[in-house]
Structure 1
Amino acid sequence: MESAISLIISILFAVYLFIDAPKHNKSRWLWGILGFIFGPIALGIYFIKTGRKVAGWVITILAILFYIVIIGLIITAALLFTNGFS
């Protein structure tokens, strides 16, 4: 279920970037693919490149912090499983 939600969110990022990119003389295919693969980081960078710098930086920083937290949780879980819970 969670993977379906993340797939839908990635598709929404890609569709938004695909539609909005030509308005700013950017390649719609490039930004659509980047939006699908990298999600909110690509959206934040796109906003920075198109002049919406505050929203772009906020989205980019929050996405990076989210990914750092997720990676930290995965590493912590892996260490707990390998070393035991005691």
Structure 2
Amino acid sequence: MEGLFGLVLNIILTIYLVIDSRKHGKSPVLWGILGFIFGLIALGIYLIKTNRKVIGWIITILSIIGYLVLLLIILLGAALILGGGFS
């Protein structure tokens, strides 16, 4: 279910970036690919590039923090599984 939510979110971001990039004279193919692969980070960078800097920086920073927290949780889980837990 969570994977489906992420896929749907990336598809919605891709559609938005393709449509909006044409309005700002940017390459819709490039921003569509970046939006599908990188999701919220690409959206934040796109907003920064199109002079919507405040919301762009907020989205970029929050998404990077979110990815770092997810990576930390995965690493801690792997350490607990491979290390046998707390001894």
Q: Which portions of structure 1, spanning 4 or more consecutive aligned residues, are displaced by more than 3 angstroms? A: none
Does structure 1 residue 21 correspond to structure 2 residue 40? no
Shift of 1:48: 0.2
TM-score (norm 1): 0.98
Please state how far the C-alpha of 1:85 moved relative to its aligned partner. Answer: 1.6
Write the distance in 2 (CA, Å) between the matches of 1:5 and 1:59: 18
Structure 1 residue 23, shift from structure 2 partner: 0.6
> Residues of 1 paired with 2:67 and 2:5: CA distance?
17
Structure 2: runs of 5+ lacking an equivalent:
none
Residue 30 of structure 1 pairs with residue 30 of structure 2: yes
* Partner in structure 2 of residue 11 of structure 1: 11
For 1:40, give the aligned amino acid: L
Q: Equivalent residue for 2:84? A: 84
Distance 2:49 2:10 in 1: 20
Q: Which amino acid aligns with 2:73?
A: L
Percent identity between the two aligned chains? 55
SS of the aligned residue for 2:26 comes to coil
What is the TM-score of this pair, normalised by structure 2?
0.97
Aligned to 1:49: 49
What is the rounded CA distance, in whole Å, between the counterparts of 1:11 and 1:42 in structure 2? 13
Query: What root-mean-square deviation, in Å, do the aligned CA atoms of Structure 1 and Structure 2 show?
Result: 0.5
